[in-house]
């Protein structure tokens, strides 16, 4: 099997310029005519959106906690088919993992993929001292192959010269400080790719200030990865699953969508803020920013269509933003907005984080889209809270995470479930949803 050229762009810490450099590297490689397959370590949705816009290929998450090591390798190999090079953007600092361990860290993923690491180091306010940082990172876990460095935020030629006087690891780039190439942030992270294309503009900076030929050579000097078993052809189920996809609902793991397609679903994208509900057999409402589009969601007749479909027994699976949309009302700083009115609860935006981190969930309640006794892992990140009716029914018990009320998640009504957890679908989950959709269609 031909080795997949690959490189992991890691940082010493959050805020060192890792996202900017990784995105710029993707853009520079794409500008040279290479097919670049992007990846993001961890559960984040926003950075992959920027990657996809830059590369023209869907970025994928690589998260050992949610996917397992075999799942990381499988997603990487399948997604990299036909690519000339794969670029993996890390998360936080190189060695920052779950609960202070190596698990799900950038280093963990680099070791799973047997990929070289290009370390981004913020040189602002330091000169020779940066080499102590580099040597510490390179020696902390020799199994994570820190192959070279890109020094970021170089202030002047003299600043570069002071650093260059001492050697540590090979240097692949000297990137000057650029205050004009900064992506705006909001409460869930960076602005979405559709709102700004500024990261792609960093490609020219990387081409000018980094040794792209040597970086390509580094990415190509890798061993092959194990081959994957053949995937069976998709069954012709003829089941239509509606997927809310617009500025309000934009957080989906690509593997989940492809899992539904492999299970036989035709995915039908629509905008709850602008469209009527299409002719579908089930709904998947992902996360996003319903609070920023509350007026449009409240004004759209789609919420009435969805309420009637739920009353009719249609299976509906909703995560985070989708959960909020299915409640009776959403209270924001701009007022009180009626939502779909499916779940017996009211959502309220707050000024601080209400839930952040990995989730482990076990299905304890009845909902056709959740197999009883099954378990899955995922992630939550929300600034809202949900006030439920006293007789609200929950489908999920959390072994880890906050969920809706500190230990439970997954409000369930008829064939609908809405949860804060962004789940990475385990084996069989997509099939269960498609089977529930098929049963609804037959009925």
Which residues have a catalytic role annotated? 320
Biggest alpha carbon–alpha carbon distance for the chain: 75
For the beta carbon of residue 247, count every other beta carbon within 10 angstroms. 17
In a 10 Å sphere around its CB, with 0-12 CB exposed, 13-18 middle and 19+ buried, how is residue 114 labelled?
middle
Dihedral sign, CA of 11, 17, 21, 22? positive
Task: Give every CB contact of residue 217 below 8 A, 6+ residues apart in sequence.
Answer: none
The β-bridge partners of 176 are 154
Element (H, E) at 361: strand 355-363
Pairing relationship of beta strands 249-251 and 189-190 according to DSSP bridges: unpaired
Q: How many angstroms separate the CA atoms of 35 and 80, rounded?
A: 9
The sign one gets for the Cα dihedral 143, 147, 149, 150 is negative
Q: What b/e string do you get for 295-319 counting C-beta neighbours within 10 Å, with b at 16 or more?
A: ebbbebebbebbbebbeeebbbbbb
Rounded distance between C-alpha atoms, residue 358 and residue 101, angstroms: 14
Token pair, residue 67, equals 């996917």
The count of other CB atoms within 10 Å of the CB of residue 169 is 17
| C-alpha to C-alpha distance for 192 and 224, rounded to whole angstroms | 34
The stretches of 34-129 forming alpha helices (DSSP H) are: 46-55, 64-79, 106-113
- Dist CA 10 CA 365 (whole Å): 41
Q: CB within 8 A of 306, min separation 6: which ones?
A: 272, 277, 283, 316, 326, 340, 342
Nearest to 150 by CA among 12, 281, 329, 356: 12
| End-to-end Cα separation, the chain, in angstroms | 48
């Amino acid at each position: 099997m031909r080795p997949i050229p690959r490189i992991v762009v890691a940082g010493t810490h959050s805020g060192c310029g890792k996202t900017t450099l990784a995105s710029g590297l993707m853009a520079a490689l794409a500008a040279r005519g290479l097919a670049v397959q992007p990846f993001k370590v961890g559960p984040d949705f926003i950075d992959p959106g920027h990657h996809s816009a830059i590369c023209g290929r869907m970025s994928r998450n690589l998260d050992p906690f949610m996917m397992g090591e075999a799942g990381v390798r499988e997603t990487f190999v399948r997604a990299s088919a036909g690519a000339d090079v794969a670029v993996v953007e890390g998360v936080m600092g190189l060695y920052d993992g779950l609960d202070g361990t190596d698990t799900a860290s950038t280093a963990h993923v680099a070791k799973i993929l047997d990929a070289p690491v290009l370390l981004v180091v913020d040189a602002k306010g330091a000169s020779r001292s940066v080499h102590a940082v580099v040597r510490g990172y390179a020696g902390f876990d020799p199994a994570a192959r820190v192959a070279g460095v890109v020094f970021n935020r170089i202030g002047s030629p003299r600043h570069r010269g002071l650093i260059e006087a001492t050697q540590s690891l090979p240097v692949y780039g000297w990137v000057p400080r650029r205050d004009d190439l900064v992506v705006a942030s909001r409460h869930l992270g960076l602005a979405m790719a559709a709102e700004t294309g500024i990261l792609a503009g960093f490609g020219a900076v990387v081409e000018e200030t980094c040794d792209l030929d040597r970086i390509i050579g580094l990415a190509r000097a890798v061993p092959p990865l194990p081959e994957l078993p053949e995937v069976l052809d998709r069954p012709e189920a003829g089941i239509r699953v509606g997927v809310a996809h617009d500025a309000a609902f934009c957080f989906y793991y690509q593997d989940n969508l492809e899992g539904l397609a492999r299970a036989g679903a035709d995915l039908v994208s629509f905008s709850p803020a602008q469209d009527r509900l299409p002719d579908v057999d089930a709904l998947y409402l992902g996360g996003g920013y319903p609070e920023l589009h509350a007026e449009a969601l409240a004004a759209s007749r789609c919420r009435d269509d969805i309420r009637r479909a739920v009353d009719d027994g249609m299976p509906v699976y909703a995560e985070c933003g989708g959960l909020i949309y299915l409640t009776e009302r959403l209270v924001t700083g701009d007022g009180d907005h009626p939502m779909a009115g499916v779940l017996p609860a009211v959502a309220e935006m707050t000024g601080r984080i209400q839930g952040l981190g990995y989730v482990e969930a076990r299905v304890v309640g009845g909902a056709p889209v959740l197999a009883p006794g099954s378990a899955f892992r995922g992630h939550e990140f929300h600034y809202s809270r949900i006030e439920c009716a006293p007789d609200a029914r929950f489908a999920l018990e959390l072994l880890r995470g906050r969920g809706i009320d500190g230990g439970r998640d997954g409000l369930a009504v008829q064939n609908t479930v809405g949860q804060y957890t962004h789940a990475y679908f385990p084996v069989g989950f997509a099939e269960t949803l498609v089977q529930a959709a098929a049963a609804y269609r037959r009925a």
